[in-house]
Amino acid sequence: MDYTPHTEEEIQAMLERVGAGSLEDLYRHLPQEILNPEISLPEPLPEWAVLEELRRLAGKNQPAFKAFLGGGVRSHHTPPVVQALASRGEFLTAYTPYQPEVSQGVLQATFEYQTMVAELAGLEVANASMYDGASALAEGVLLALRETGRMRVLVSQGVHPEYRQVLRSYLEAVGAELFTLPLEGGRTPLGEVPEGTGAVVAQHPNYLGALEDLAPWVERAHGAGALFVVVADPLSLGVLEPPGAYGADIAVGDGQSLGLPMGFGGPHFGYLATRKAFVRQVPGRLVSETVDAEGKRGYILTLQAREQYIRRAKAKSNITTNAQLTALMGAMYLAALGPLGLKEVALRGVAMAHRLWELLLEIPGVEPFTPKPFFNEFALRLPKDPHAVREALAARGFHAATPVPREYGENLALFAATELHQEEDLLALKEAMWEVLA
Amino acid sequence: MDIPKDRFYTKTHEWALPEGDTVLVGITDYAQDALGDVVYVELPEVGRKVEKGEAVAVVESVKTASDIYAPVSGEVVEVNAALEKTPELINQDPYGEGWILRIRPLDMGHLDDLLDAAGYQEVLEREG
């Protein structure tokens, strides 16, 4: 189809309307060097020479640093099979396909994604994904408020501070109240759940990497008629108890840890899983398996009628789009690794992080902060400003020491290790840290 | 299209059947056919006070969701709980087993403002 912005006639009509005789006339007030700039391009080159030149330029890039950054985004290995499958044209789309045009293959892949997420979370239903962990959390809490008909939320300070900001924005818009439960010693102390609370929210492992003991919290929340929402790193669910097993009603989190590139903070995907009883309140898209008139298996977008493009102002959420491709990458990653592979990857991260913790604590002035047990990430108290430490480490070729916001304490920095790290990487970081802190 | 003569109708395709001092409410055969397979019905709480024309329930099909408007002002005294498990009753028997809720009207006289079967038939022909 031709794309014709405007015809000669239309241009003439517009010029007449504004009283300009011609386009040159219309732009007369602009300096000549802007209207007709001289572009100095080199002489044309053969294709092989252009490629050679591009390779030379690319060689000027700094080699990728090993990243020890924590705080919700960590460096992981993406198996080549995931990249190969995800780059197939059948999956690539610039937008979210709706029912009339979405293919059975995409629907089936999404259904498999949902099934894997539900299994990881130990819950019955998962949607087709959200934008990221923070939006998944906000939607999960709104789900709990719709279900309970209440407008009060308790959120642990152990929930990622940026996620809490997103949550606050969403809740302000609907007029709900948000109360923060401060951490004590790096964990969420068990407290009361006041009357009228619709949702209690915690993160496990929490923002500082520490494992929370949530079963008693879940019991208190349920005793007060509130639902329990858990933010959980899906990779951690390869080794930790699934949220459904300790009674959580809604599990959410960011899918980046399932082999997605860090990508300067995105695109990632958020997952959202819950109990079947709440399926009517689930935001976003949901793919179901069914049979057609001839009894053949097929897949279908279901429960669409609550969505914004059909129900408008009365929709359950304003999200009908989801992070289709990145969510499918997460599913491909899970399928490639299998449950045992996921466990291995998670355990290797745990082992490397604990080794790193030991090594860094040998540096004079460095103190532990995150209590054990922790997962693949921990906070340390540094003898210097963490922002300066991070800069100095970057100058030495290390991405490490994510500064922790002051609300958690002074001079705290997060460190993470994953399956990508080797003993020599940890030793190299320790050496650099020693120099920087000396 | 089936339009029983024993009840009243709204232009928005609800029917209202007087029974004693209450009125049974559902959607017409035409409405269920237009919606397609009904997959969910959101029912109001018993005891809720409603104004005539207020959205009182939601009928969801695979493709769309429609508000059900109260044909008369009054109080919801009963809902058809069977629809929670078997919403398809609305497709199968819109004037019988597929009833949605029962309202006790403030004034039974309000029913006179509604359409009779012939009047509703005309509405359908105009929408045609």
- pLDDT over 90, % of chain B: 84
Burial of A382 (0-12, 13-18, 19+ CB in 10 A): buried
The model's confidence at residue A304, banded by pLDDT at 50, 70 and 90, is confident
Stretch A184-208: mean pLDDT, rounded? 96
**Residue A312: how many other CB atoms lie within 10 Å:** 8
Nearby residues of A147 by Cβ (< 8 Å), 6 or more positions away: A198, A227, A278, A281
Predicted pLDDT of residue A2: 54
Closest CB from B40, B63, B64 relative to A280: B40
CB A408 within 8 A of CB A184: no
Q: Does A304 contact B61 at a Cβ distance shorter than 8 Å?
A: no
Among A355-369, A381-395, B62-76, which stretch is predicted with the lowest mean pLDDT? B62-76
Q: Chain A closest CA to B66's CA: distance in Å?
A: 9
What's the average model confidence in pLDDT over B92-98? 97
Question: Which residue did the predictor score with more confidence, A37 or A139?
Answer: A139
pLDDT at A128: 93
What local confidence, expressed as pLDDT, does residue A1 receive?
Answer: 44
The neighbouring-strand residues paired with A274 are: A125, A250
pLDDT of residue A207: 98
Interface test with A, best of B54, B58, B60, B84 (most A CBs within 10 A): B60
Contact A369, A186 (CB under 8 A): yes
Q: Per-residue pLDDT averaged across A123-150, rounded?
A: 96
User: Given the DSSP bridges, would you call strands A412-416 and A402-403 parallel, antiparallel or unpaired?
Assistant: antiparallel
Please count the CA atoms within 13 angstroms of the CA of A309 that sit on its side-chain side: 12
Mean pLDDT for chain A?
92
Mean pLDDT of B68-84: 96
CB A128 within 8 A of CB A217: no
- With contacts defined as CB-CB under 8 Å, which chain B residues touch A304? 62-63
For residue A94, the model assigns a pLDDT of 63
Residue-level pLDDT at A352: 97
The percent of residues above 90 in pLDDT, for chain A, comes to: 77
Mean pLDDT for A326-338 is 96
Nearest residue, CB atoms, A310 vs list B39, B40, B64: B64
Query: What is the average per-residue pLDDT within A367-384?
Result: 97
- For the stretch A282-303, pLDDT in tens is 998 899 999 989 999 999 888 7
pLDDT at B110 over 60: yes
Let me know: does A352 contact A419? Beta carbons within 8 Å. yes
**Cα–Cα distance, B43 to B98 (Å, whole number):** 13
Beta-strand relationship, B14-19 and B8-9: antiparallel
Q: What is the pLDDT of residues A142-194, one digit of tens each?
A: 999 999 999 999 999 999 999 999 999 999 999 999 999 999 999 999 999 99
Is there a contact between A404 and A412 (Cβ–Cβ < 8 Å)?
Answer: yes
ipTM over 0.85: no
Phi first, then psi, for residue B18 (nearest 5°) are: -70, 135
Q: What pLDDT does residue A311 have?
A: 72
Which residue of A304, A309, A316, A320 is the best one to mutate when testing the B interface, meaning the one whose CB has the most B CBs within 10 A?
A304
Determine the pLDDT at residue A45: 93
Q: Are A252 and A140 in contact (CB under 8 A)?
A: yes
Matching residue, tokens 């809902």: B79
Residues 6 or more apart from A153 whose CB is under 8 A from it? A141, A144, A145, A167, A171, A176, A177, A178, A179, A197, A198, A199, A200, A201
Contact (Cβ atoms closer than 8 angstroms) between residue B101 and residue B70: no
Q: Which residues of A touch B62 (CB under 8 A)?
A: 302, 304-305
Main-chain phi, psi angles of A286, to 5 degrees? -145, 130
